[in-house]
Amino acid sequence: MPKKQTTTTTIDTYSKTKAIAKPKKYSKTLEKTPKSSGPSLDICLLMDCTSSMQEWIERSKETLHEIINNIKVQSKDLKVRVAFVGYRDIRDTERFCIAPFTSDLNKVKNFISKQVADGGRDWPEDVQGGLNQALKLDWQADSIK
């Protein structure tokens, strides 16, 4: 049986690519935090976006928005960056929806709001793949994670 190609949606382009992106090497040029600005906080949120989440996806999105809002309020002395990884089943065409780290918290919340429960043809959810995608993001070496 031919292997199915997967696609990944990213916040930057909302476009589909033919294969899962290869891991990026850490780049000091990506939103570098000046040493004098104090500590930073990197948080990546993961969510199951399969059809089985249909009943709960809206509440899950609201909860992620609440988490982001609470982080902003409770972390006033930190530079906060948030990323999001939505994952689906192993054989789904669009397995991952990824919003890379950004300090623009509204941008991530808008991306999360656009997620829909789709896919999930009774194959296992790719939780491990979602975690792997999260590990490939541009985590800052000196941030609180």
DSSP E strands in 26-93: the ranges are: 40-48, 79-87
Helix axes 105-113, 57-74, angle to 10 degrees: 170
Q: How confident is the model at residue 131 (pLDDT cuts 50, 70, 90)?
A: very high
CA–CA gap between residue 20 and residue 100 (Å, rounded) = 14
Give the tokens for residue 13: 């382009």
Q: Does residue 90 fall inside a structural domain? A: yes
Q: Does residue 21 fall inside a structural domain? A: no
Domain limits for position 44? 7-11+38-135
pLDDT at 4 (0 to 100): 52
Q: Does residue 63 fall inside a structural domain? A: yes
Q: Does residue 28 fall inside a structural domain? A: no
Mean pLDDT of the chain: 80
| Interior/surface letters 95-109, b for 16+ CB within 10 angstroms, e for the rest | bbbbbbbbeebeebb
Q: Does residue 127 fall inside a structural domain? A: yes
Q: Does residue 20 fall inside a structural domain? A: no
How many folded domains does the chain comprise?
1
Q: How confident is the model at residue 25 (pLDDT cuts 50, 70, 90)?
A: very low
The vertex-29 CA angle with 12 and 141, nearest 5°, equals 100
Residue 121's CATH number: 3.40.50.410
pLDDT tens digits for 71-126? Answer: 989 988 889 999 999 999 998 889 999 999 999 999 999 999 999 999 877 788 99
Q: Of 5-9, 63-67, 111-115, which range is least confident?
A: 5-9
